[in-house]
Structure 1
Amino acid sequence: MKEQVLRRINIVMYSEAIFSLEIFFAPIMIAFYLNYIGLSFQEMSLFFSASLITGWILEIPSGAFSDWFGRKKAFLLGKFIYLIGMLSLLVIKDFELLLVIAFILSLGSSMGSGNLSAIIYENLDTIGIEKDAFFRISSKAGSFGFLSSAIASILGGYLGTIDLRIPLILDCIFIFSTILIGWIFIEERSKSYLLKNNQGYSQELVLIKFKKAFVDMFNLTKDGFLLSIKNKKILFIFLVSSISFGILRTGFNFYQPIFEEFSINLEIFGVILAIFNVIAATTSYFAGKIPKNFIEGHGFIILSVIFLTISGFLVYFNFGFTILVGLAFAIHQIVRGFITPYISYSINKEIPVGSKSRTTILSFDFLMRAAIGTFIMTLSGIITTITGLSVGFVIVSFCGALILLFLCVVFQSVSKKKRMHESLATKNGNF
C-alpha cells in the first residue's frame, strides 16, 4: 500500500519538476514577445504587469475554490486553462486580446499553485509516512527540475534561433503530458468541501447552490487567513518565503546585464545559465539528505544570510575578475536550491492535518511572495539607476541577508517569551 502510494507520488512530483511550465519558452520569452508578436518594450512590460496583478487578485479566491471544489480537479483545470493561454500566444498578436491572455495565464497559474504540494503532503500523512519524507521528495524533484531547466535553457535558445514558436509548442506538449500524468496518478485522499457537503446540494435550486458555494469559499478563505495570522510559525515562514523569493528573483535580473559589462555575450550566458541550474539541482538534491533537526531549526535561513552576504562582498570586491562575479551568482543558486523545498515543507508541516483550508493557506504564501517580490524588484530598479548595476546587486543581497537575520532574531525572541509564559502558567497551575 505504502509503496504504491509513494510510487504514484514520485511519478507525479518528478514529472511536474522535469516538465515544468515554460521550461523551453523561458530562454527566448523576451525575444518572442518583442520579435514574433511585435510588442514594444513598454507594451511587453504592461503585459507582464497585467499578468502579475491579476495573479495577486486571483490567488486567494483560487485557493479557496480548490479547497471547495477539489484540489486534483482544480489543479488539472488550472493546467488546462494555462495550456489554452499558451496556445493562444501562437495566433493572437493584438495587444488588447493579449491582455485577455494575461488574465487566462494568471487564472491557470493561480488555480494550480499550492494544490499539488497540499495533495502530496496529505497523502503521505494518511499512510503514516514521516513528514520529513515530503522534504526529501520535494528536494529530489527540485534537483530533477533544475537539471531539466539546464538542458532546456540551451535547447530552447537553439530552437528559438530556428523558429521562436518551436519552444512554446514543446512547452504546450509538456503541459498536456503532465495533465495526463496527473489525471492517472494523482490520488486525492481528503474529500473536497463540495463532496463533504454534497447532501445539502442535491435538493437545492441553482441560485441557492451558487450562494452556498460562495459562502463556503468565503468561509474557507476566512479560516485560512485566521490560521495564517494566528500561527506565528506560519507567518514567519511566509515572510522568509517572500523575502528570499524577492531577493533571488530580483538578483536574477542583474545576471545578464552585469555579465554584459564583462563582455559576456548571450550565447555564453546561456551556457552559464545551464551551469547555474545544475548547481541549484545539486544543492536541492543534497538538501534532502540534511538531518531532520537541521531542517526543522533555522539552519537553512542562517545559511541564506551567510551566503547572501558572501555573494554581495564578491560582487563589490570583484577586482575586475569575471570569475568572482560568476561565483557570487552561483551562491545565489545554492540558496535557490535549498530554500524552496525547505519553505514548502515548513509551511505544510504547520498546517493541521486534514485542514480543509490547506490550499487556501498556501495561496497566502504565493500572494505575499508576489506582492513583496514585486516591491523589491521595483525598488531595486530605482536603486540601480542611482548606484549602477553592481552596487545595486550588492545592496539587494545585503538587505536580503539583514532582513532574514532580523526575522530570525524576532521570531526566536517571540518564541522564547511564549515558552516562558507557558512554563509559568504550568507552574502556577500546579499550585
Structure 2
Amino acid sequence: MSQTRLLLVRRYYLACALTPLEAVLAPVVVLYYVDFLDKSFATYTAFLSLILVMNLVLEVPLGMLSDRIGRAAALLVGNAVSIAALAATLFVSASWQLFAIAVALSFGQSLTSGNLQSIAFEVFSRAGVRDQFGRFLARNASITILASAAAALVGGFLADLSLALPMLADIALAAVRLGIGIVVFVLLWGAASGAERSSAVPLRPDRLGALAQIVDVVAVVRLPSFWAAACAGAICFAVLRASLNFYQPFLASRDWSGSEIGILFSVAIVASALLSRLLVQDGKEVTAQSTVCVLIAALVVSGLCFALADVAIGFFLVAFALHQMTRITVPSFATGAEQASMPEGYPHRTTAASLSMALRSVVAVVAISVSGQLAAHMDHALTLAALNIVGALLCGAVLLMFWRSQRPKGVKS
C-alpha cells in the first residue's frame, strides 16, 4: 500500500510540475494588472500586499482545519477556489473587486499550502525513503521551472496579441491540475483520505482541541532545524516575490516587448533549471544549515550582478538565472528540512507548515513595502541589488543564531 501511494504521489507531483500555476502570465503579470485591468502600480502592489496579509491571517487557522478535515480534501477545495478567483480577475472594473479577489485568492492559497507536502512526506516516510524527500522536491521543482520556461515563452507571444490570453491559459492549466488531483485523491487513493483523517487528526475528547494542537506545534517550531529552515524559506520567498515587481519594469524601460521578455525568461529559466537539476543529484538529506548557506551565496552574487545591470544586460541575465535556481532549490530544501524535523506520523504537520507559510507572508509584506519605497528614490536595478544584499545579511543573522543554538550550554563564544 505504501509503495502504491508513493507512486501516486510521485505521479501527481509530476503532473503538477507540468501544469505550473500562473506561469504563462508570469513574464507579463505586472502589465496584466496595470495595463489590461487599467490599475495603477500602487493598486497592484496593494493587491499583492492584501493577499500576503490575508495569508498571514488565514494560514494557521486553515492549516489546523486541514489537519482535521483531511489534507487531500483541503488541497482540492483550495485549488478550486483559486481557479475561480483567477477567472474573476478578467471581469474586474473597480478596485474593490480586485481586493475582494485578493481575499479569495488568499483563502485558496492558504487552504492549499502545506497539504501536498505533508501528504507526500508521510508517504515517503512510510515507504522508508524520507531522506530523499528534500531532493525529490528540488528535482521536481526543476521540472516545474522547465515547464514554466515553455509557458513563459508562450505567454510572451500571447501577450502581444492580448494580455487576457496568458491569464486564460493559466486558468486552463489550473483546471487540468485540479482534474488530475480529483482522479488521484478521490478515485485512485481509495480509502486514503479517511485513513489520513483518522491517523493524522487529533480529535480526542481528553484534549483541549485547538489549544492543545497549538501547544504541540509550538514545541516543534522551537526546534532549531525547523525555525532555521522556515526563516530561509521566508527570506527566499520575500526577496524573489518583491523582485518580481521590478524585472519587467526594468526591461520595459529599455523598450523590450512582451515576446522578448518571454524569450528572456524562458532562456534564463531553462539554463538555471538544468544546472539546478545537476546540483540536487546527491542522495544525502539536505539540512537547514546547508539551505541557509546556499541562499546566502545566491543572494550575494545576485545583488552584485543587479548592481551592475545598468552597465551590461548580461549581469541582469546572470542575476535573474540565479534567482530561478534559488527558486528551485531553496524552498524545496527548506520544506524538506522542516518536514524532517517533525516526528513521523505527526498529526499537526500541516499546521506547522502553515506557521512557516505565515512567516513567509510577514517577511514578504515587509519586503514588498520597503522595496516599493526604495524604488521611489532609486532605479529598478539598484532596488533589486538592495533587496538581495539585505536578504543575504538576514540569512547571515539566521545562520549565526542557528550555530549559537547548536553550541552546548555553558560554552561561551
Shorter-chain TM-score range: 0.7 to 0.9
Instruction: Give the Cα separation in 1 of the matches to 2:97 and 2:284.
Output: 50
| Cα gap change, 1:261 to 1:271, in 2 (>3 Å) | same
Q: Which residue of 2 aligns with 1:182?
A: 181
- Paired residue total: 406
Unaligned runs of 5+ in 1: 201-211, 422-431
Q: Percent identity?
A: 23
After superposition, what is the alpha-carbon deviation per residue over 1:301-358, rounded to whole angstroms, capped at 9, x for unaligned? Answer: 2233223222333343568222123223322322222112101100000011111110
Q: Which residue of 1 aligns with 2:240?
A: 248
Offset, 1:103: 1.7
Amino acid at match of 2:176: S
| Cα gap change, 1:167 to 1:326, in 2 (>3 Å) | closer
| TM-score, length of structure 2 as denominator length | 0.87
Q: Secondary structure at the match of 2:93?
A: coil
Q: Tell whether the 8 Å contact from 1:78 to 1:109 is kept in structure 2 after alignment.
A: yes
Amino acid at match of 1:47: F
| Cα gap change, 1:139 to 1:39, in 2 (>3 Å) | same
Amino acid at match of 2:373: I
Q: Which residue of 1 aligns with 2:54?
A: 54
Offset, 1:267: 3.2
Matched, 1:341 2:332: yes
Q: Which residue of 2 aligns with 1:115?
A: 115
Q: Tell whether the 8 Å contact from 1:58 to 1:107 is kept in structure 2 after alignment.
A: yes
Amino acid at match of 1:24: V
Q: Tell whether the 8 Å contact from 1:68 to 1:217 is kept in structure 2 after alignment.
A: no
Q: Which residue of 2 aligns with 1:267?
A: 259
CA RMSD, aligned part only?
2.9
Offset, 1:420: 6.8
Offset, 1:418: 4.8
Offset, 1:142: 0.5
User: Out of 172, 194, 197, which is 1:192 matched to?
Assistant: 197
Matched, 1:162 2:161: yes
95-104 or 68-77, larger mean C-alpha shift: 95-104
Matched, 1:39 2:39: yes
After superposition, what is the alpha-carbon deviation per residue over 1:401-426, rounded to whole angstroms, capped at 9, x for unaligned? Answer: 222122212211220225979xxxxx
382-391 or 60-69, larger mean C-alpha shift: 382-391
Offset, 1:13: 0.6
Q: Secondary structure at the match of 2:209?
A: helix
After superposition, what is the alpha-carbon deviation per residue over 1:96-155, rounded to whole angstroms, capped at 9, x for unaligned? Answer: 333322222111111000000000000111222x21221232122101110111111121
| Cα gap change, 1:283 to 1:339, in 2 (>3 Å) | farther
Amino acid at match of 1:103: V
Matched, 1:235 2:240: no
Offset, 1:282: 2.0
Matched, 1:391 2:382: yes
After superposition, what is the alpha-carbon deviation per residue over 1:268-308, rounded to whole angstroms, capped at 9, x for unaligned? Answer: 22211112221342244223313516x23633422332232
Within 5 Å, give how 1:235-384 maps onto structure 2.
235-260=227-252, 264-292=256-284, 295-296=286-287, 298-317=289-308, 320-384=311-375
Q: Which residue of 2 aligns with 1:85?
A: 85
| Cα gap change, 1:365 to 1:264, in 2 (>3 Å) | same
| Cα gap change, 1:341 to 1:284, in 2 (>3 Å) | farther
Q: Tell whether the 8 Å contact from 2:75 to 2:115 is kept in structure 1 after alignment.
A: yes
Offset, 1:36: 4.1
Offset, 1:199: 9.5
Unaligned runs of 5+ in 2: none
Q: Tell whether the 8 Å contact from 1:23 to 1:171 is kept in structure 2 after alignment.
A: yes
| Cα gap change, 1:224 to 1:420, in 2 (>3 Å) | same
Larger Rg: 1
| TM-score, length of structure 1 as denominator length | 0.84
Q: Tell whether the 8 Å contact from 1:282 to 1:337 is kept in structure 2 after alignment.
A: no
| Cα gap change, 1:92 to 1:376, in 2 (>3 Å) | closer
Amino acid at match of 1:368: L
